Structures are given as C-alpha cells and as structure tokens.
Structure 1
Amino acid sequence: MSSPEHKQKIWSLIKDIKTGMMTTRHGEELRSRPMVLVQDEYDGVLWFYTDLESEKVFELESDNDVCISFADPDDHVYVSLTGVGRAIQDKTLIDKYWNPFVAAWFPDGKDAPNVGMIEIKVVKGEHWNSDSSKMLKSVKTAKAKMKGEQPDLGEHEKFGLDK
C-alpha cells in the first residue's frame, strides 16, 4: 500500500485525466474499456458507475484482479494501477457521486435496479511523469547514449506489493 502522501500524488496525477482504461479477464482474454472516475478524492479506492448487468461485472465475479491505466500524453503523465475490483449496489454511494454525466448513461435514473458501482481497491501501481518536451527528451536520450547511460526522462516510481 502507499502512504497518505503518495495517495495524494497518485490523485494529483489522475484527477484531471478522469478516464482510465480498466482491464479485466474474460476467460483467457484480457479486455479493456474506458471508465470515468466519479470521486473527488482518493484514499486507495477508485469508484466508477456501472450497469450491474454488464459483461465487466460478470468478469469481476469470476476474476476480481483488475488493472486500470490513465494517460495524458500532452502532459507526459502515465499511471497504471492494479487492484481488486467488485461491483456493488450501495445507494449511499450512488447518491453521493450521481451527476448529470452519469445520468446520461442511466436514463431510468439512479434508482433503476441495474445502477451500481465498481470499487477498485488499489494494491500496487506505477507512474511516469515527465515534464519534458519531445525535443528535450531526444536531446537527453542522445546525450545519455553518447555517455553509455540511461537518459533521465522524468519521474518513474513503482509502489505497493511486489514492487
């Protein structure tokens, strides 16, 4: 797990990206789909709305290991988080995070029987953050190659279990 400071770091990297690609296992295949964050803070758990009758929910029931990745190529920020996912129907959470964007996906409203939440408890992850432009990266890479070193292209950190 990570410290409160590190959780704030992760949140600072993903909060403006909002949409992550969640990967689940469908039999022997891996499947990814976009999921939109609904929370306004991060404490080691990510929350997303879902249709409780969707394939991703059935996939989580048979294998609850998930990976969700966030990318902002314009700002050179990349985050991959691995955790345990589950679908729940918690009216308190549904009410707490409900908004007009979510309502567009659920035309029968928040009290419809298929409205639920996906909870991902993050156990490990990795992030990259480089504020360098492509040109600066190219220069750093060329200099490092000439010196026989690896280029410093920004921050990269692994955290959690089995770093």
Structure 2
Amino acid sequence: MSRVIDVSINFDTETILKKFPNPSKDPNKPTFIPPEHIYMVTYQDNVISGQAGGELHLKGRVGDVVRWREQSISFGFEQSVILYGFVCDDPNHQLLEDPRALKAKVQSAVPNANNKTVPTCQINDNYYWRGDLLAQGKVTYHFKFMIVDRDCKCCGYFEWDPFITITN
C-alpha cells in the first residue's frame, strides 16, 4: 500500500541572510548554500538518516508520494520562505516524478479566545510540493527557494541539495 511521506522544511532565515548578506537577486541563478541552516523533519519511519537536518535521507517505496512544505523558523512573522523550483539528477524522471507545487484548502484548528479547551476551525490555503516515487534508486535534488521579508519583498534566491532513496 502506498503512503504519503510528509516533509516539513524549516529554514533559519535570519542566519542564512547574515551568512549570505549579498544573495542572488536572480531566480535563475540562486545562491547555493550548505544545508546547516535548513532543518527537514518527517515521521521517524521515513528516515534513513539526517532527521532535523538539511540532508534528510528519506526512504520510500515505489508508489509513495512525497509532500514538501516550507516555512521560516518565525513561521512568516519576520520572513517567509517560498519554494519556487526543483531540479534533480534524474532529468528524465525515471525515479521521481517531476514535483509540482499545489494548493489545497484545509481546515485547521486555532486557539479559541473564549474557550481555551475547545479550538476554533478555519479554512486556510495550504501550499506544498508533491512528487510520486516511480522506481527504486537514489535521487539527489535541488530545491530553489526565496526568502521574503514581512513586506513581501524578496531578500534573495537560494538553493540546496537533499536526497531520497527509493526502495522496495
């Protein structure tokens, strides 16, 4: 039975911008950064190695779906992160379907000011990237992302390269 592998990508945007004070302003030529200020987390059963690091080595089976979601550590209060591109060492997409960005309407629980033990629900747009695992092997990929300030101005374009192992 196939399953969904959710991956939360958390970016230390404050440190990235301090360490790379002059990032690319060209989305076609993003600044390549090492993974130490990116923290990817998934359910423990999906992990080969690297939980909560920038080089999360996932395991998945043919037919599984990977969903990636991005956020800054401030959850958008100071800066936001937007994934905008995906490149992998599987250019013909034999192992991993070419991931695509999607938007879904989801119901989320939020605190209720009138009753702290009974949440209120609201409908939100949920953005994520999705790719299907198509064949066994190992795929290294690059996500391109932008950091945006609280005024929605782009601070710079970046990329880094995690990987997935597909087994059966």
TM-score by length of 1: 0.29
More helix by share: 1
More strand by share: 2
The structure with higher relative contact order (CA 8 Å, sep 6+) is: 2
Q: For the pair shown, which has the larger CA radius of gyration, 1 or 2?
A: 1
